[in-house]
Structure 1
């Protein structure tokens, strides 16, 4: 069975608003062992850092710009053999919230684009924080601790700008209290195996779908990740098979022992930084163009300058009825 090596960058679990990063990147490479090992050796030769373990930051330094361009370039060592799934965390929160409360995420993109200008930076940030809190549930807590702040925030924003399109969407979200209460009661009683706000799990499923598109199942070899417990791995494989995705299995390794995963680690960190710079308006056009061929069309992205084919007309995968599955 073909093996594809994976790693991620920007994981903050379910803390998607106010965490350390605004982008989550999941990278995968389909490289033979010897090719990956040679690529790592070549990077070390070109960078010439005394560090024992190289990370993406080494390649992102301006003095190593030529190495980064070589890695991403057409005809470079990973061209045609690598893939990146990007998740804009703030949009992911909006997408999942709209999907849960409206049972359809179609309004997520327009709300995400209109919200900051309609409610102002502070009001929009308050909405994102409240939505993150609503969906980031903890077993045994009081549902009101998450539900009430969210609906109070929605009500305040609607009253502030009642005639706007964004407020009309929020008004519909505010009418979804019963759906939210059901969700909170369910996941607090029986914790979700796949938290709805963790972007890792859908990224793995979409990565497997990308590499198995030709009909052959693939084995994903993934860097060690605390969220990937044996139970979750087993369910991921079962769900993929049920959905017709060719995920033959998922095996965890230490990236230091697998050059293929090291390359995936490089690519994930590079992709996250380039995408984050684009969000902040300080993107480098050449690096953005170099990364774009690797970015999957199913990336979850609501910004008008999208990495995804979905953004102009529709959102990424919403929570909907399967909100407690999270993938």
Structure 2
């Protein structure tokens, strides 16, 4: 399969510089079906770019967040039947990366039939000291380089960084996360990790000022916004743990764990979390990530997904 044959969806929101770099790389690599899926951006230079880019721009009526490609409902005909690529706009293949990414990723996915997607590993050995979350990133990303399954291939989950997808699998399914990351030379950079956190560009200041959801933890450096996210995540987890679904599943997994292994007990444990009262950006970001991981762990379990679907049916 060649690059020109596949649909590429780029998730966009109020960022021009990164988006343009990625689109330029895709054009250089001879991708022909480039879709910019824009989450109701308001940044004027970006809107002007939309008027002249050769990529097809889909302006959504609201900010659907990082899962916009799947949740907006506009692309189901492709998502259900064809291989496709999705990427955040702030991910860029490294200079040494070969251009034949579609054929390379497809070959891997064909070989490993139990996986849903194949994408770039993220380069982390050149992160600058000027990026305030550098140490947090290094600690977080190490987990994705532990499970080597073949030379140059690692089993590691992928969210919406650049990846090639098998059709018919959606984010509310656990297997959506089952992924392979590639090693050098098929690597990419997460561009916000290379910014000076104490000297943001006007574009980046606008982006952070206008964030309306929690999809950009690695970018946000403003203390008050990090504190706001911390409060939102903490109280969201508190409400989840008050719910019937969580209490029921906690006991269910506890008893299943007695018979089928300790790991099941941990799925709905009652680990304590606290509001972070510090003003240190790195500490706030670290605590926010812990809360987000705990929420994602709950939301992605089959039991939670099933009970939430049942709840919606009965509410109708």
Q: Same fold (TM over 0.5)?
A: no
Q: Which protein has the bigger helix share?
A: 1
- Output the TM-score relative to the length of structure 2: 0.26
By relative contact order (CA 8 Å, sep 6+), the higher-ranking structure is 1
Q: Which protein has the bigger strand share?
A: 2
- Output the TM-score relative to the length of structure 1: 0.26
